[in-house]
Amino acid sequence: MKMTAYNYRPDELVYFKKFAPKYGIDLVLEKGVPSAETIGKAAGCHCISIMTTPLGAELIQKFYDAGIRFISTRSIGYDHIDISAAKKIGMHIGNVSYTTNSVADYTVMLILMATRKIKSIALRSRAQDFSLNGLQGVELHNLTVGVIGTGRIGRLVAKRLSAFGCHIVAYDLYENEEIKSFGKYVPLKQLFAESDVITMHMPATKDNYHLINKETIASMKDGVFIVNTARGSLIDTSAFIDAVERGKIGGAALDVVENEAGLYYRNHECDILKNRGMSLLKSFPNVIVTPHTAFYTDQAVSDMVENSIKSCLLFSQGKENPWQIV
């Protein structure tokens, strides 16, 4: 089977070269993003593998007209793809799964960093200010942590946090029995009201767009900590910034922000960021912003590449595909 892998990173290359021969794939590697200009690189292919490049209706149609019938994104999230447009024309879409340890471990790290005020400590230490005023943290065993979304990552985060002695409350549309051994499910309103720390682990959907907003923030404890390693659209950035400035939100750690597409994974060292919200968030001493790197481990990258190849192969063979969404 022939397939084209678009916008691959240098760290992915070793895994493409490892797994393509293993699965008998005739692989075409294209550094550029999938576009009208690079569509020719997929000639003779029925499947392509992409990263998180936005794919709108027009581009999906162009790939369909070129003979592509399956698009595998090397990510869990697929909100960068117009799924509705794909369905209309019969284009099939798949995502991938990868080790849950990567994001779960990173989430726990961010919770610890936020609650122990590591950003402020690091900034002061860099300026050789070793005073203690304003740096007092809190201990996890004294905190109630609200876990929103109890899929594979959310469950693993809850399990990790249980070792710290946290009181864990959780919310999900679909309850999982494993969570009940670490904490308890509660209504979302109760989770907002009771949690000292809130961590989110869910995909971006229309139903949870701006889940963290002016009204839900108002229902939270004063000084609450917010951690987001899921999707930036879960948080209303304007309302969030206002709450940080008022002291309603005591600290935050965000691996994702709204409208991050086109910014992350590129060097903007000498640029003015075209995302005012991100710039403001980065300026706060109690808000940690990292560039969507929670997933980024050697095992995760290996899994993403291998499972994208396997997904394309299963589709081409007409076999059951656990990663196929459409």
From 231, 246, 258, 276, the catalytic residue: 231
- Write down the residue that tokens 């659209």 correspond to: 233
Dihedral pair phi/psi, residue 199, rounded to 5°: -125, 135
Specify whether 260 is catalytic: yes
DSSP assignments along 193-222, one per residue = HH-SEEEE-----STTTTSB-HHHHHTSPT
From 12, 30, 258, 260, the catalytic residue: 260
CA–CA separation, 153 and 107 (whole Å): 9
For the record, the structure tokens of 131 come out as 């005073």
CA dist 274 to 204, 271, 290, Å? 22, 9, 17
From 30, 92, 292, 306, the catalytic residue: 292
Q: How many residues does the chain have?
A: 326
Q: What is the DSSP letter of 294?
A: T
Nearest in space to 119 (alpha carbons), one of 312, 284, 321, 323: 284
**Centroid of chain to Cα 135:** 29
Specify whether 46 is catalytic: no
CA atoms within 13 Å, Cβ hemisphere of 114: 30
CA dist 205 to 1, 62, 140, 202, 209, Å? 33, 26, 31, 9, 6
Specify whether 152 is catalytic: no
Dihedral pair phi/psi, residue 46, rounded to 5°: -105, -15
Mind telling me the catalytic residues?
231, 260, 292
